[in-house]
Chains A and B, each alone.
Chain A
Amino acid sequence: MEALGLLLHGFEVLLTFKTLSLMMVGLVLGIFVGVLPGLGGPNGVAILLPLTFTMDPTSAIVMLSCIYWGALFGGAITSILFNIPGEAWSVATTFDGYPMAQQGKAAEALTAAFTSSFIGSLVAVLLITFLAPGIASFALRFGPPEFFAVYLLTFCSFVGLGREEKHKTIISMSLGLLLTGIGMDTVSGQLRMTFGSDNLLRGINFLVAVIGLFGISEILLTMEERLALRGHAAAISLRVVLKVWKDLPRYWATLLRSSIIGCWLGITPGGAIAASFMGYNLAKRFSKDKASFGKGRIEGVFAPETAAHASGTAALLPMLALGIPGSGTAAILLGGLMVWGLNPGPMLFVEHKDFVWGLIASMYLGNVVGLVMVLSTVPLFAAVLRVPFAAIAPMIVVSCAVGAYAIQNAMFDIWLMLAFGVVGYVFKKISIPLAPFTLALVLGNRAEDSFRLSMIGSAGDLRVFWSNGLVGSIATLALVLLFWPLVSAGIERLRGAALKTST
């Protein structure tokens, strides 16, 4: 297997003292970020991104992805001990995790959560290892029209399949796309929508927007809700860990089902949140003892955690292979790639082998080290939650400001971050989804470029998007997904009619 050889090479890249210590630092920071209420994967990665600007890309991505794994692990700690989901995808973990903690089985619940996170990620990483190179080499044949069709597919699936009100998704997405257009037009070099301002000349940086949208707005929301933290103490002993692990094979069906759901939803832009709920609900449906769910059943922890982590990890697959992020955090990592001067997409597998396989190897190693670390340091991180929020909130604000400033050394960006913070707060409260906004901000320019390059190639003929089987089927699929609610209603009606005629 070629992939195995490359993976071994990846481990070689990874196994230096410097990279390993960065990995540990990343994991600790990540768990910390995941434990703090109001901060999670995307915010943590966005805020800590500037730390990596002076590193080489491989060390940088290893540290950032470890922050991400750490945050995924950390989210479970607050859900189980404090009944406060550190992340939206940990909500389903609270259903059975917190009751377990109340019954004095916090250690079991935590071990179950960490172990299933580990299994979920592992399945997804295996998928990435063997699938991503294939997809990337397939995508090497893509030209601008194919890429535009894939971007279109991503945007359309958000509108068509999202659960939010359609007009709100469209508002969020078109606003994001519009904002990316500000500044210099990359194809013609013409300035647009700058209104003569020097600061707008640079355009609106994606990361500045994300730091405001996620970091600052979360602080505002957390303050508004005034979380009262009342938690259960927990320390995990080796005996408990072994006991939970011994029972693990009994739950193989749940674990496998959740892993598959997670991988699928992670690759398509469905996201970890949907995956965790779906994993939980399916485990409940297939269980013989449905009534005991929600009262502290260990399967109720296994199912959502496995699915959430499989999905969070699998979201990196389309990012690596196609340059399309499967989740908000993946979008920020993608933003990072561009800052370090790498061009995300299939060429990455050809031009930067060290980088790609170093990253994939770090997913294996990061998850193993992370598992050991969270199991042994839970009491420490649970203590973090006893630090008053009045001390943590301003520190997060400062970290956000540092992050926003460092990207382009511009004071204007700090103000922009504040503005986006307020926008994010209001949007969340009137339920305009932020995910399409983030996606539009990171993909907007690339989508427009690929569209205009295809137009230059075809001399302005729109039929280029149906010029061959590949691009045609992607473009058609995109349109089908855009109108999915109508399409599925149509199918229902046809089926209804068919039933009527047959009876």
Chain B
Amino acid sequence: MADYDSAGGGEDAAAPPRAVASTRAVDIAACLLLLAFAALMAFDNWRSGAGWASDGPKSGYFPFYLSLLLGAASFYGLVKAALDRASAGSPFVNRDQLRRVMQVLVPTFLFCLLTQWLGLYVASFLLIAGFMRYVGGIAWWKSVLTSSLFAAAMFVTFDLAFDVIMPKGPLEALLGF
């Protein structure tokens, strides 16, 4: 708990935390993924017609050559990263950084998941209150008060004032919205 606000202090003075992945490794992985994506897209566009009809290019023409371009650029990046020994040492993220990133990413993922069942407002109440309490280490009453005010303000602004309809769940149904 309370990792976020414990800035400064002992951690910084000690040896730097161990890197989880090097920039080079991530570079290579990203290029491989992009290559695979380019291949998939090239295949699909080839199938739907990448030729040149009498009145100009068919619908797959542009995307097909773009995927070739993407593939070529990623391949170049792959070779360059693989040969580049210098960047092997530079860390992509270290352990502490990764943990802090996960502290947002995982709750955000859960928030998206919950939005499907509980609606956006309840999910955002849970996200904000939970995040403030467990990641920020802020007092219970402050967290709950802030998040309920925020959720209510969102509801009034979007659903009532601006007619922008958000996904809703059982709670809103119970209240008759």
Contacts and interface: CB of A to CB of B under 8 A. Distances in A.
Interface of A: 50-51, 53-54, 167-168, 170-171, 174-175, 177-178, 181, 185, 187-188, 190-193, 195, 216, 219-220, 223-226, 228, 388-391, 393-395, 397-398, 401-402, 405-406, 409, 411, 414-415, 418, 421-422, 425-427, 429-430, 432, 448, 451-452, 455-456, 459-460
Nearest to A227: B7
- Point out which of A188, A391, A393, A394 has the most chain B C-beta atoms below 10 A from its C-beta: A394
Contacts of B167: 405, 411
Nearest to B58: A188
A193 B120 contact: no
- Point out which of B5, B49, B56, B76 has the most chain A C-beta atoms below 10 A from its C-beta: B56
A465 to B, nearest CB: 13
Given A170-B69, A394-B127, A185 B26 contact: no
Contacts of B172: none
Interface string B30-45: 1000100110010011
Main secondary structure of the interface of A (DSSP, over half): helix
29 contacts: A51-B162, A53-B162, A54-B163, A167-B76, A167-B80, A170-B70, A171-B34, A178-B63, A223-B4, A223-B104, A224-B101, A226-B4, A226-B100, A388-B132, A390-B4, A390-B138, A391-B131, A394-B132, A398-B150, A398-B154, A401-B115, A402-B158, A405-B167, A406-B166, A418-B108, A427-B30, A430-B27, A459-B55, A460-B52
B164 A50 contact: yes
Q: Name the 5 nearest CB pairs between A and B, nearest first.
A: A390-B136, A455-B56, A185-B59, A174-B70, A398-B124
B66 A411 contact: no
Interface size class of B (residues with CB under 8 A): 35 or more
A411 B116 contact: yes
Contacts, number: 188
Contact of B55 (A170, A178, A391, A455): A455
A451 B62 contact: yes
- Point out which of A188, A216, A225, A418 has the most chain B C-beta atoms below 10 A from its C-beta: A188
Given A178-B41, A188-B58, A224-B93, A390 B164 contact: no
A112 B150 CA distance: 35
B105 interface: yes
B73 A170 contact: yes
Nearest to A229: B7
Contacts of B38: 178
B169 interface: no
Nearest to A224: B97
B166 A405 contact: yes
Contacts of A426: 26, 30
